[in-house]
Structure 1
Amino acid sequence: MSFKKLIEPLKDTLKTKGIETPLPLQKKILSRIKGGSSMYVYAPKGSGKTSSIIISVIQKLKNAHEDAPRALIFVKDKQTALDLELEFNSYKRGTDLRVYCAYDEKNIDDQRDEIYYGTDIVIATPKRLNRLFYLNAVNLNRLQMCIVDDSEFLFRNNNLAEVTRTPESIGKCQYLVFAEKPDARYARWQDTFMYNAEIVNML
């Protein structure tokens, strides 16, 4: 997929950043993500996994719509969430998309109140997202994309079980898992909510 097919605000942002052509990974996956495919994406650090997530989410959502989030991105910790939020904010100029970070160190009642006012993209640590969900503080009924960035963290501190609970509670959705290398522990997902997932291996 070339950048010519992106929405105008994204094209303008990429031009401002001096990014003229897609990286090899972006050429391979952006059109598939746009088409709705669920995927496991394995690629080395620096290959453009995070920028691919950001571009794909903004391209799909385009602008603010309703109050419930339409994209959920799981990350390992607070700092990763805040860093990703900054990256999103630098790419979403020209749109009115709303990004919110949910992480364990912040007061959960404050987070519940802030989410109530509406957001399009939630970047969350697994444990905090599930606490918010089971407190009925976040509505996932409108979710279109569920993404795990740098998913190696899933295999520590019960994160895999926390993330697996989310698809069990929502309807049809596109799932994207990004990692630096394959892991056999993803296999059970291919028997459940990611049973039609494509595998893209750039290693």
Structure 2
Amino acid sequence: MSLDKLKLSKRLHRSMNDLGYFTAKEFQLQTLSRIVGGHSLIGIAPEGAGKTTTYILGALMRLKYTHDEAPKVLVLAPNEERVNDIVERFKIISANKDLYIMGLKASGSTEDEIIDLVRGVDIVVATPNRARAVYLKLGLNLNRIQTFVIDDAEEIIKQGMSTPVRELAQSCGKVQYLAFSTVEHDKLHLMIDDFMSLATVIEIDELGEKTVETHELMLYHVPNFTTKVNLLNLLMRDEEVFDKVVVFVNSRLTAQKLSQSLHAKKGEVTVLNPFFHDNAGIDDINDFKQIPECRILIVANEGTTDIDLAGIPFIFHFEIPESGDVFMEHVAKTNDEDVIAITFATDLELPEVKKLEQSLGEKIPVIPLPEELVIYRPSNAPKSKQKVDESQGGAFHPKKESNSKTYNYGGGAKAKMTMKNKKR
């Protein structure tokens, strides 16, 4: 589809052509007009779908060039490398020397950055933690923000930065919110629903061509690691069906811990190449195949290659392999045997599942969780603090009124004062 369908300005159209882009992607066709129209939007699409280019084009088309000190666009990204990539992409696509785009470092002193922000900037790109730190020092003015962007939302969630995202978003006025992710899951909505509950969700699935024949694939979407253990225990109760099972995990330590968490009869569970030499285990998968009473073999992907899965009717991926090639080796159909490959995935692992589906060229069917499964729900209730008896005295005493500090300059105010002093 021609770029003309995006209705870009002549300058942006020329920039895109200069960069070698002559056609529009499906994600851009479905989302750009909404972004330019000022709608809040949640965009779900795989890597390479054009999410970053889309919101950059949208933000630039909405941006009105004035000489305000406060930024008009704030983009949050998961790490400094990604921040630098986005800043560079903005500069290349905008091709506007008068546009001031600033990326904040992920660590180090904030003083110089605050001085630059006070001088005036149009677009700020930062990690959530850094943006929050500068904002709390009054160095980042959110009063004029027009567009608030969360890029690679799944990675931001994975790195535990949901709270600063919510705090920054709720500190803005009436703005356009844009969130982009490879997957939509509960943790994403937990982060954004307080300020994006009415946003339009647009999801694009772009699967590659199917290049390999696989065993029958199934996916269980579970909330956490403990529920994975509960689910595996529940399924393994059926000894007649699950008579020979190989369970893949990512590390030998996890393999050892999982073997101790399974409620099986003595001799039913074993580990290939156990982490500790004094633990029961085997060194060859053929030994597992030849022992009738041993029906569950736990294998760590770490340090394991060329494993012969012939004759194994059930393959479980308790964790998503760190390499997609490892997963493909496990599920590739090499004979006429009927094999079922079952994968367990949490919200944080769903982006990796999406990548696997792109490589496979097909969706992995999601299986409903069994009704009798015990879902582990960790308690987040805060512990109550004991009330201090002030009558007994203590190390802290309130200041006298005459000594109390009644002012507190933020980083932005201090930066302005510094600039004024330098001019004198």
* Structure 1 and Structure 2 fold alike (TM over 0.5): yes
Q: 1:3 to 1:12 in 2, by over 3 A?
A: farther
**TM-score if structure 1 supplies the norm length?**
0.93
On the 8 A contact 2:70/2:121 being kept in 1, the answer is yes
Q: 2:43 aligns with which of 41, 46, 56?
A: 41
Whole-angstrom CA distance in 2 between matches of 1:69 and 1:145: 10
**Counterpart AA for 2:48:** G
On the 8 A contact 1:7/1:62 being kept in 2, the answer is no
**What's 1:103 paired with?**
105
Q: 1:122 aligns with which of 113, 120, 124?
A: 124
**What's 2:69 paired with?**
67
TM-superposed CA distance for 1:4, in Å, is 6.1
On the 8 A contact 2:6/2:29 being kept in 1, the answer is no
Q: CA deviation digits over 1:142-181, x for unaligned, max 9?
A: 0011111111122234300110001221210111110111
TM-superposed CA distance for 1:28, in Å, is 0.5
**TM-score if structure 2 supplies the norm length?**
0.46
Q: 1:35 to 1:189 in 2, by over 3 A?
A: farther
On the 8 A contact 1:98/1:119 being kept in 2, the answer is yes
TM-superposed CA distance for 1:107, in Å, is 2.1
Q: 1:162 aligns with which of 161, 164, 168?
A: 164
Q: 1:53 to 1:4 in 2, by over 3 A?
A: closer
Say which one has the larger Rg. 2
On the 8 A contact 2:6/2:32 being kept in 1, the answer is no
TM-superposed CA distance for 1:108, in Å, is 0.5
TM-superposed CA distance for 1:123, in Å, is 0.3
Q: 1:17 aligns with which of 16, 19, 39?
A: 19
Q: Does 1:135 align with 2:137?
A: yes
Q: 1:11 to 1:95 in 2, by over 3 A?
A: farther
Q: What secondary structure, in the 3-state scheme, does the structure 1 residue paired with 2:198 have? A: coil
Q: 1:182 to 1:142 in 2, by over 3 A?
A: same
**What's 1:84 paired with?**
86
Q: What secondary structure, in the 3-state scheme, does the structure 1 residue paired with 2:195 have? A: coil
Which fold has the larger relative contact order, with Cα–Cα distance below 8 Å and residues 6 or more apart in sequence? 1
Q: What secondary structure, in the 3-state scheme, does the structure 2 residue paired with 1:69 have? A: coil
On the 8 A contact 1:126/1:159 being kept in 2, the answer is yes
On the 8 A contact 1:41/1:177 being kept in 2, the answer is yes
TM-superposed CA distance for 1:3, in Å, is 5.2
**What's 1:53 paired with?**
55
CA RMSD of aligned residues (A): 1.8
**Counterpart AA for 1:119:** V
TM-superposed CA distance for 1:5, in Å, is 2.4
Q: 1:191 to 1:128 in 2, by over 3 A?
A: closer
TM-superposed CA distance for 1:56, in Å, is 1.0
Q: CA deviation digits over 1:14-49, x for unaligned, max 9?
A: 121232221111000000101111111110111101
On the 8 A contact 1:62/1:97 being kept in 2, the answer is no
TM-superposed CA distance for 1:102, in Å, is 1.1
Number of equivalences = 203
Deviation larger for 190-199 or 115-124: 190-199
| Higher helix content, 1 or 2 | 1
Whole-angstrom CA distance in 1 between matches of 2:4 and 2:200: 20
On the 8 A contact 2:73/2:148 being kept in 1, the answer is yes
Whole-angstrom CA distance in 1 between matches of 2:98 and 2:59: 13
On the 8 A contact 1:40/1:178 being kept in 2, the answer is yes
Whole-angstrom CA distance in 2 between matches of 1:90 and 1:155: 28
**What's 2:195 paired with?**
193
Deviation larger for 119-128 or 190-199: 190-199
